[in-house]
Amino acid sequence: MKSTDEATLLEWLDMEADGTLATENTAALRDGLAARPDLLGEQRLLGNLHALLAESKIDVRSGFAAQVTAALPASSWASQSHQAWRLPLAVAVGFAALAAMLLAGTSVLQDGTIGTFAAVADFFQTATLAGAGMLGATWQGVTLAFDELLVTSKASLIALTVGVLFLDLLFLRMLRRRPRSSVAHAGDDATPLGGGDGAR
Amino acid sequence: MQPTDEALVAAALAGTMDSFTALVERYQGRLVNYLFRMLRNEEDAHDLAQEVFVKIYGALNRFDDRYRFSTWLFRVAQNAAIDRIRKRRLKVVSLNRPETEEGDGGEWELPGNDPTPYRTLRNSERGEAIQLAIDDLPIEYRELITLRHYGELSYDEIATLKSMPLGTVKNKLFRGRQMLKERLRDYLTD
């Protein structure tokens, strides 16, 4: 059997007292101590040291957890996240209602009992159609203007290409730079594992 | 089976307040004892532990579950304790301990007077001896001993928290305990 050197035995004794000695080394430590009974004193000292450190702990005052819970802010991320849901939800519901009215406007809403709603639905339908028409016309106009500009001048084509590339780069940079509030490693006090050894 | 820290964080984020209370109950003893060894004052340790839990709660939605909750909590606690000690240093009488190479030694100075319940422990010769033995350790050993024996962090957690290789953590804890053993030998013999 290969004998274990003193330094290793001392290290294992320390780990044993700390409860971190690997199971595969337990038998080797026992054998080592049998061969070196002078280390039994060391084992006792280390055991007593751990006991002494454990004894020196203070008690947490009673009701501490309740005090912490009571001190938690009322308006935290929880309420903020609920508030963040409210607006998109309201907008979505509003649009859904509008769509339902527009779809149903020509059939169900023709009924005289809800004639007012039918009129409002017609109004929105007409407004939407007019808006779409104007948008289409504007887009067509812009396209024509660009066509003319690009066909007549090579310099304009190059300038437009450079401009588009610049805007692409700008957009990519903005995508890479995430907002500070949503970054987990921003380096503030409550940042998980942000920065060095904690000594700021 | 006890839910994991990460499961409790997820439940707290989903709106279960009791889950955060469970986290507080799970860590309160370790955190208060760690802060007590940093601040040497029981009242301050409790106050700061409460502040740390409140701060953690406020940032819970930013917790990255790729990491351990414990290391996050103790990092926040460590930073908060260092801030508190720095503020306190202006009002505190230093024991004139020479600064170490890391320059952080001064942050661990004992307050000159301490009218707190810590007196009960300090009055005990053994309690005072333990505190002095820990205080006399070089800063790099003292931090690890405090995190291990009072914060009850695992070697892995300490390695993550201190950004150290696991082997270095083991070695420093071994050396630190050897130093403590020599300094406290009178109290360790039967």
A110-146, pLDDT tens digit by residue? 556 567 777 888 888 899 899 999 999 999 898 888 7
* B75: confidence class by pLDDT, cuts 50, 70, 90: very high
Nearest CA in chain A to B128: A56
**pLDDT surpassing 50 at residue B61:** yes
Which pLDDT score is estimated for A94?
A: 85
Residue stretches of chain A with pLDDT short of 50: 1, 179-188, 193-200
pLDDT at A78: 63
Residues of A in contact with B121 (CB under 8 A): 56, 58
Question: Is-contact A186 A179, C-beta < 8 A?
Answer: no
Interface of B with A in 41-80 (CB under 8 A): 42, 45-46, 49-50, 53-64, 67, 71-72, 75-76, 78-80
- Return phi, psi of residue B102, to 5°: -70, -20
What is the model's pLDDT at position A105? 60
Q: What pLDDT, on a 0 to 100 scale, did the predictor assign at position B100?
A: 44
B167 touches chain A (CB under 8 A): no
Phi, psi of A162 (to 5 degrees): -60, -45
Q: Is the pLDDT of residue B113 over 60?
A: no
Contacts with A, B 4-23, CB within 8 Å:
13, 15, 17, 20-21
The predicted structure's pLDDT at residue B91? 65
d(CA A60, CA B29): 6
**pTM score, whole prediction:** 0.63
Cβ within 8 Å of residue B128, ≥6 positions away = B121, B122
| pLDDT over 70 at B137, yes or no | yes
Residue of chain B nearest A51, judged by CA positions: B188
Residue B15's Cβ-count burial label (10 Å; 0-12, 13-18, 19+) is: exposed
pLDDT at B53: 96
Query: What pLDDT is recorded for position A159?
Result: 84
- What is the reported pLDDT for B65? 80
Residues in chain B, overall count: 190
Q: Which domains does chain B have, with CATH numbers?
A: 5-188 (1.10.1740.10)
pLDDT tens digits, B117-131: 554 554 568 888 898
Tell me what the mean pLDDT of segment B51-73 comes to.
91
Q: Which of A180, A108, A24, A33 is nearest to A10 (CA)?
A: A33
Question: What pLDDT was estimated at residue A112?
Answer: 60
Residues A198, B79: C-beta atoms closer than 8 Å: yes
Is residue B170 pLDDT above 70, yes or no?
A: yes
Q: What is the mean pLDDT of residues B83-112?
A: 57
Lowest mean pLDDT among A181-190, B87-96, B157-166: A181-190
Cβ-based neighbour number of residue A105 at 10 Å: 19
Residue A182, pLDDT score: 37
As a whole number of angstroms, the distance between CA B12 and CA A21 comes to: 35
Higher pLDDT among residues B141 and B108, named by residue = B141
Inter-chain contact A58–B178, Cβ cutoff 8 Å? Answer: no
Mean pLDDT (whole number) for B87-100: 58
